[in-house]
């Protein structure tokens, strides 16, 4: 229906003049045509939808893998008990020995034979350090899983010690590479890392305890009672 602007009489939708007063009725304004989307816009829209789909799939897959990993760790700990970190450590040592054998094979095939041989000799000379770091990580993870609230106040220390050991190993590898491959900048980087080892230890320790404090404060905040308009909620 079309309403007359003079007498407010309702007329037929296709009427050009008012049936009551004869005034000319305003013609309806046709809707503006929607311009067709370009190929680039359509491809962008399709890409956005595909990205959202794959992002959701990746998030779901990651959450499921995380839950599966926690279930496997829990079953591993319950099955092996206190021997779980020992078994994990021995598996890590086996992987380390396999890596030494692999580096020896690479040394025979590579043009940088001296570098790989020196690298193997370094690992063999410091085998006790590698084994200690492997078992330190294994036992730290085990206690963190089994005694999470208690062990959280201890775990920054083994993490800092482990970081100190691995950074020192990295510096030694750089020095070997500098000596055998002739890259002086690698030696400078190794010296910087060795000088920064105490700073790295303290920094990792401080960051670890700051995270522990943050998590503890958040948990205590969740445990505090909350009050609404009519009294305590929980």
The pLDDT profile of the chain, 234 residues, written as one tens digit per residue, is 677 777 877 877 777 777 788 777 666 666 666 666 666 676 777 778 887 877 787 777 777 776 777 777 777 677 777 788 898 899 999 999 999 999 989 888 888 888 899 999 999 999 999 999 999 999 988 888 888 778 888 889 999 999 999 999 999 999 998 988 888 888 899 999 999 999 999 999 999 999 988 888 877 665 545 554 444 445
Identify the DSSP state of 18: -
Q: What is the pLDDT of residue 230?
A: 46
Q: Which residues pair with 232 in a beta bridge?
A: 227
Q: What 3-state DSSP class applies to 11?
A: strand
Identify the DSSP state of 6: T
Angle between helices 39-80 and 84-109 (to 10 degrees): 120
The dihedral through the CA atoms of 134, 137, 139, 142 has a sign that is negative
Q: Which of 6, 28, 25 is nearest to 15 (CA)?
A: 25
Q: What is the Cα gyration radius of the chain?
A: 35
Cβ distance 46 to 52 under 8 Å? no
Does this model's pTM top 0.85?
no
| Count of CB atoms situated within 10 Å of the CB of 201 | 16
Which residues are CB-neighbours of 163 under 8 A, at least 6 positions away? Answer: 200, 201, 204
Residue 145 CA, chain-centre distance (Å), reads 19
């Amino acid at each position: 229906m079309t309403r007359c602007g003079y007498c407010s009489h309702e007329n037929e939708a296709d009427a050009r003049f008012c049936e009551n007063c004869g005034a000319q009725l305003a013609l309806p304004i046709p809707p503006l045509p929607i311009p067709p989307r370009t190929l680039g816009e359509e491809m962008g829209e399709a890409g956005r939808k595909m990205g959202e789909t794959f992002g959701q799939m990746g998030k779901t897959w990651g959450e499921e893998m995380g839950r599966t990993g926690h279930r496997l760790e829990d079953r591993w700990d319950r099955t092996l008990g206190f021997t779980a970190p020992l078994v994990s450590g021995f598996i890590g040592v086996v992987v380390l020995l396999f890596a030494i054998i692999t580096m020896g094979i690479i040394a025979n095939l590579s043009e940088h034979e001296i570098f790989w041989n020196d690298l193997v000799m370094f690992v063999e000379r410091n085998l006790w350090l590698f084994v200690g770091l492997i078992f330190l990580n294994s036992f730290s993870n085990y206690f963190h899983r089994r005694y999470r609230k208690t062990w959280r106040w201890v775990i920054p220390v083994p993490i800092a010690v482990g970081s100190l050991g691995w950074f020192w190993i990295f510096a030694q590898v750089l020095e070997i590479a500098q000596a055998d491959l002739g890259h002086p900048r690698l030696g400078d980087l190794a010296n910087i890392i060795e000088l920064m080892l105490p700073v790295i230890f303290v920094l990792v320790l401080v960051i670890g305890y700051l995270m522990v404090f943050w998590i503890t404060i958040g948990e205590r905040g969740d445990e505090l009672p909350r009050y609404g308009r009519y009294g305590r909620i929980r």
